[in-house]
Each structure stands twice: as C-alpha cells, then as structure tokens.
Structure 1
C-alpha cells in the first residue's frame, strides 16, 4: 500500500470509531428516554385510578380507608409513591382542604425530636398546631388534624389508624 492509501485507511478507521462512539451514545440516550417513557406511562396508569388528584407537579392519593402510619406508607410505596412531603404553603393548604385526619410523611421515630420526611430530608418549614409536637416517644408520626388553621399538624401514635395521603412526584 502506498502512503496515500494508508493515510486514507487510517482516516476512515478513525471516522468509523467516532461513528461507533456516537452510535453507542445515541443508543444509551434512547434507552434512557424509553425507560423514562415507561415510568411515566406506569405513573399515568396508576394515577388514573379512583382516589388520585393532580396538584402542581405531583399526583396525590387520598385514602378512603384507615391504616397505621407504617401500613399507609407501605401502601404508598407499593404503587410507586410515598407518604406526602409538604414543601410549601400551597401544599399545606391543599392537604388541609380535604378536612380529614391523614397521615403525612413526617416522623421522628429514628431519633426522638429530630423530625424527618420519608425521603430522609430534615424538616425545615413546619405547620404544627399550637403546642405541638408534644407526644414524646409515644407520638412519632404526623397527621393533619386541625383544619380551621393553616397549622394543622399533630404528632400522633403511629399505631393509630387514620386515612393517609400518598404523593407521586412527576419530574419535569
């Protein structure tokens, strides 16, 4: 082979290798988009069932039955959600609008007095009712309870049975 043919062969090999890299990247991106599509389809199928309500970037399931805090959380997780995390005044107003005792996703069962959301994030903004929390080691799970005021949270006994609210977030 002459040097011109060898140079052309090297150039073609480099172009081929670059195209293979691009193809691998595109295939990976396609798989990622397909997985996201399938996840969204599943969420849409779940949230189309009775009991689900859309609000902002999440879907919420408001139970019609009562369970303990842990049973409520297990139900939420079984459908790809979790107990509600309240991140804003608007979400607090939303949950209060149902005027029901409902478990939300806040607990200090790991460390007494250290309130954490079910995703592990610390409590930064709270809506505790007057003189709450007050239950010590006997009341480690949070329920909405007093609807005449924005501040409706009560620390309750986790084994009590209440309705609950699940939150399924949709990422944008």
Structure 2
C-alpha cells in the first residue's frame, strides 16, 4: 500500500565474539531480519540485518539490488580457523514525488483536503485522479490528520454535515464486512478506530471520519468534504 520514497538498507553480520562457539566449517546459511518505519518526511526507512559465513552470499544480495548506488564497508573476523565476513551497506532509491498540494504528516504520509463536498464515490474518484486514495486510518496516530483538519475550522459550504469527512472504507459488497479502498479487511470488533456505537449498519454503506478522528458509517450519497492520502 505504500510507495518507497527513500530506502535505507543496512546489512550487518555478527562476529564470533558474540557466539558461544564458532559455526561449523563450510556453512553457507544466510539469515535476515527486516524492519521498517517512516521518517519525518513520510518516506519509508527499511533496515535489513543479515548474517552468513559465506561473504559471496551477501555480496550477491547487494549486486541484485539493480539501480542502487551502494556505499559498502567491509570487515572480517576469525574464530577457530573460520573467517566471517562483515558488510555494512547503505543504499538510496529516490521515490515518486507526492502530487501537487499534498502536505507531509510526520511519520505517516502525504495528505490533501478538499472542501468542495462530493459523494463518497466521486470523492474516491478525485483522490484516485491524484494518484492517491481516500484517507485510511491505519493507526491511532493517523487520526490526528482528521483532528487537525477540523481544528483549523475549515469553511465548508453545501455539505450534508460539516463534522464528517469521507474515509476510504465501506461495506458496499457485503453488509457488515468492511474493507478499505485498497481491498484490505477492516475489522469492527476490538477496533478502537470506530466511534462508540459504530458502525450501525443499514443503508449506511460508506464510512466517514468524525471530528474526533474516528470511523462511523454513513450513506454513500452524502456530499462531504474529504481527505486524500498519498503514502
């Protein structure tokens, strides 16, 4: 669901100083752990920790990253006749720029609000024209995007309600089974992102973000302001 704005890749092997005994001679195993987070500009940062006795395995990993400009630092340790190679790799990949008018939210992504009220379907189409999508709340932190929108007291004319914005979630395909506009299931039970008493079903098959940054279901025909997300 996310585009890579900037990839920082770190490859590190552990030396025998941290081992109780040396690995068996001739081992070519390679173990890796991957983690990710967003930086302040909304770009994804990904780290990779790798360990292996056969240095060619890690070097091949680096060579396979076509298009990367790689900064490589190399070292080696020795233990009971076994040589372990260590590589620290930094690589950067430029990502697509956000659409015009989209502002970054620290650690999340880029967002743009539209004050001209549209139905849920037309709002969805407008976001997609931008190369983005209606806002999807993936965390408690992301509710701040909606809260800050309403805190600015935007001047919205002609909306069905001025305390809601369209969100990228719906149950139009099957009643009670919510999913976001990217096709990912959105649970109801145990999900703290839903407003108290919501969703209440019936003819309300689209989802809005309330002024306190939480989900509620609503009629898809309501014309509301909306927030698009580029991440």
Q: Which residue of 2 aligns with 1:79?
A: 130
Where do residues 1-172 of structure 1 align in structure 2 (5 Å cutoff)? Answer: 29-30=66-67, 37=94, 40=96, 43-44=97-98, 46-47=99-100, 49=101, 52-55=102-105, 56-99=107-150, 100-124=163-187, 125-136=191-202, 138-147=203-212, 152-169=214-231
Matched residues, number? 130
Tell me the TM-score normalised to structure 1 length. Answer: 0.66
Where do 5+ consecutive residues of structure 1 fail to align? Answer: 1-24, 31-35
Where do 5+ consecutive residues of structure 2 fail to align? Answer: 1-62, 68-92, 151-162
Tell me the TM-score normalised to structure 2 length. Answer: 0.50
SS in 1 for 2:124: helix
Mapped contact 1:129–1:146 kept (Cα < 8 A): no
Runs (4 or more) in structure 1 with deviation over 6 Å come to none
Which of structures 1 and 2 has the bigger CA Rg?
1
Mapped contact 1:96–1:144 kept (Cα < 8 A): no
Which protein has the bigger helix share?
Answer: 1
